[in-house]
Chains A and B, each alone.
Chain A
């Protein structure tokens, strides 16, 4: 698949990967062995009929491919781009044993983009309405998926979104060059065309509590994600120029600060930018910084590249673009003058014994303090669910980390009529896992709406 060359793409916010041509897609699809057991499907949290849609592509029937994917996955243009296929469907591909697996993600993306390019998204005929109404809180991957599935079962789903655009983390978190926002809007439009209503500026926990919603709706799905950013709790963290990754990315993505002053929201354009963390969010932040004109973009991580939780492809893209990696380094303080950050003080680490996550634990070397100058610092060390809903819903069980407790088989919470899925339950995982949980929830909601039993 063609990509923008690194030296070109760091000068723009356009998508890095350019997608297959029809010829490329057909050639790739023909590599599929169409295994009778289809191990790839087992690797897919939303059970897309992978050999089925790939056969349609191989036959040149792209619309049939798109329709088949959409039977189980309402957001194919998104998952085709941001799923970690290398650990899911593609990891199960029979071809893995001998050579490269079939590029399932790229083919999925191709089918979805091909359909969008035709100008119309085909929508299945609506089933007879059940007159049941479900409030879906949050329009991220979980919310869109559960709403789409409920609509296809004949229920009226109303998505209540706090922000002014659909998509949740797909809009505020993932940068334009990895997931263009026109695609997020397009997929949200598809869900709307299924009969789902989308309301913006609606903050559950403030304008309406979960209990108030229960008076108006037959069931509730909480898919509000993990929006509360973690900080390091070290001196100097409140200096200007120190951002949470959430803030930095929200400014750049949702608020289009990269087009300031055409768009009103500003963002600091650092000459040297340091990002702390080793996940996909850290890679995204460091790459946004380059596109905002940073001469140097440095990732500071307490372990080594080998232990980074980011996808390998994301680390590679960052490296190709010139992002530098300062491994085995733990920040201990920020320093600055007149309220603006100028330096980060760090300690060097060595790797010790493995910890609970199985990764070797970083141990700092006493007295190894050193400083790096930078004018923007981005903290990308994780996040947890926002407390807005749990604070206003005393009988909703949450763990001490703030994640909502839900039964894995049904996504039922401790509160009757209330289901939850996605990062609000996992604390922070992938788009596709959120969608997988949403599909489980949709089935359980349907059953609950029909039987009333909890």
Chain B
């Protein structure tokens, strides 16, 4: 079990959790991710490392409550624990003195871009950061990004804060006015990373994106995270999660992310309808290891029917 040491609500969509994970914290580097499982019934979900503290033996995770697992995680409080935290996984970001670089982050992507910006700064780069979100309430960590950037441009789609418009508009203007940029990073929703890659392509600016694909083990075993690239496919878990954004076949990435949409919806519905008096009952049921298919109570302790799920037929 991995104890939750701190928890904060960062924005309307983003929650931050500092989790005790001694070994992982010693090794975590910018660009890597973890696999987290909330409880014994949980799926294994990949989350990028937003920060780590080797001395304290902790890692910081930032997540958006989009599906059952992240909603469940969001309900856990300081002092409670995650059942599994595995990592650090993936190839770390290639940090080098590139010169002048631009980092672009959208929404929840601001969290994983932070350790990269931090490491790039330490390596002596001049950093222009562009961060954006739909609206002001969804922005967070402006101060952290500011602290290691030479220039910070903030965009909101609705103009409620910073510039009005998408990060790609600000990026395009920058690339038009400044020909000295050596490299770009983009982290955010897949569609945003795709647009960034399309924006930098005409300028032949090397653009690194970080893909958060569906995966199970995170060690190259399931192949569920395979990403189609110009030169064939690669596994996001062991070959990535960072790839050359100009080589990624984005349609395939976007389609693969949508594959379990119906199941995700059902899972969330199921969980929400069963999360009545969740905490005490959940603790109670977790004491009992499942025996076999038929003698089990349902996981969340409520008296709802399980077994038949007509929605699935």
Contacts and interface: CB of A to CB of B under 8 A. Distances in A.
Interface of A: 12-14, 162-164, 172, 176, 180, 182, 185, 200-203, 206-208, 227-229, 231, 233, 237-241, 243-244, 246-247, 250-251, 254-256, 259-266, 268-269, 293, 338-340, 386-388
A13 B87 CA distance: 32
B275 to A, nearest CB: 13
B246 interface: no
B121 interface: no
Contacts of A251: 216, 222
B231 interface: no
A206 B223 contact: no
A260 B255 contact: no
Nearest to A263: B41
A206 B198 CA distance: 33
Given A164-B84, A203-B86, A206-B87, A244 B223 contact: yes
A227 B255 contact: no
24 contacts: A162-B86, A164-B37, A176-B293, A182-B290, A203-B87, A206-B87, A207-B27, A227-B220, A227-B221, A229-B223, A238-B249, A243-B223, A244-B222, A247-B216, A247-B223, A256-B41, A260-B309, A262-B306, A264-B267, A265-B44, A269-B312, A339-B256, A340-B259, A388-B219
B79 interface: no
Contacts of B270: 261-262
Interface of B: 23-24, 27, 37, 41-44, 68-69, 83-89, 216-217, 219-224, 226, 228, 232-233, 238, 249, 251-252, 254-256, 258-260, 263-264, 266-267, 270-271, 289-293, 298-299, 306, 309, 312-313
A388 B252 CA distance: 26
A233 B223 CA distance: 13
Contacts of A231: 223, 226, 233
A201 B19 CA distance: 15
B37 A260 contact: no
A339 B292 contact: no
B267 A238 contact: no
Nearest to B228: A238
User: Considering residues A182, A200, A229, A241, which has the most beta carbons from chain B within 10 angstroms of its beta carbon?
Assistant: A229
B293 to A, nearest CB: 6
User: Considering residues B217, B259, B267, which has the most beta carbons from chain A within 10 angstroms of its beta carbon?
Assistant: B217
Contacts of B256: 238, 240, 339
B219 A240 contact: no
A180 B68 CA distance: 28
Contacts of B298: 262
Contacts of A261: 68, 263, 266-267, 270-271, 309
Nearest to B68: A264
Q: Is the interface of A mostly helix, strand, loop or mixed?
A: loop
Contacts of A255: 43-44, 216
Contacts of A268: 259
B293 A13 contact: yes
A264 B41 contact: yes
A293 B267 contact: no
A267 B66 CA distance: 19
Given A255-B216, A261-B270, A233 B37 contact: no
A229 B238 CA distance: 13
Given A164-B37, A182-B291, A206 B88 contact: yes
User: Considering residues A233, A238, A264, A293, which has the most beta carbons from chain B within 10 angstroms of its beta carbon?
Assistant: A264
Given A200-B84, A264-B43, A163 B238 contact: no
Considering the complex of A and B, which 9 residue pairs feature the smallest CB-CB distances, nearest first? A339-B255, A266-B263, A240-B259, A247-B222, A264-B43, A227-B221, A261-B270, A244-B223, A265-B43
Nearest to B237: A388
Contacts of B217: 162-163, 172, 227, 250
Given A14-B292, A182-B291, A250-B221, A339 B84 contact: no
A244 B256 CA distance: 14
A266 B264 contact: yes
A229 B224 CA distance: 10
Contacts of A388: 219-220, 238
Contacts of B255: 239-240, 338-340
Nearest to B233: A238
A387 to B, nearest CB: 7
Given A228-B221, A266-B263, 10 more contacts: A12-B293, A164-B44, A227-B221, A228-B220, A233-B232, A238-B252, A243-B223, A251-B216, A339-B255, A386-B220
A368 to B, nearest CB: 27
Contacts of A13: 293
B24 A207 contact: yes
A387 B291 contact: no
Nearest to B67: A264
A207 B88 contact: yes
A207 B87 contact: yes
Given A164-B84, A201-B85, A339-B255, A227 B41 contact: no
User: Considering residues A182, A208, A254, A259, which has the most beta carbons from chain B within 10 angstroms of its beta carbon?
Assistant: A259
B306 to A, nearest CB: 5
Contacts of B221: 172, 227-229, 246, 250, 386
A339 B252 contact: yes
Contact of B260 (A203, A244, A266, A338): A266
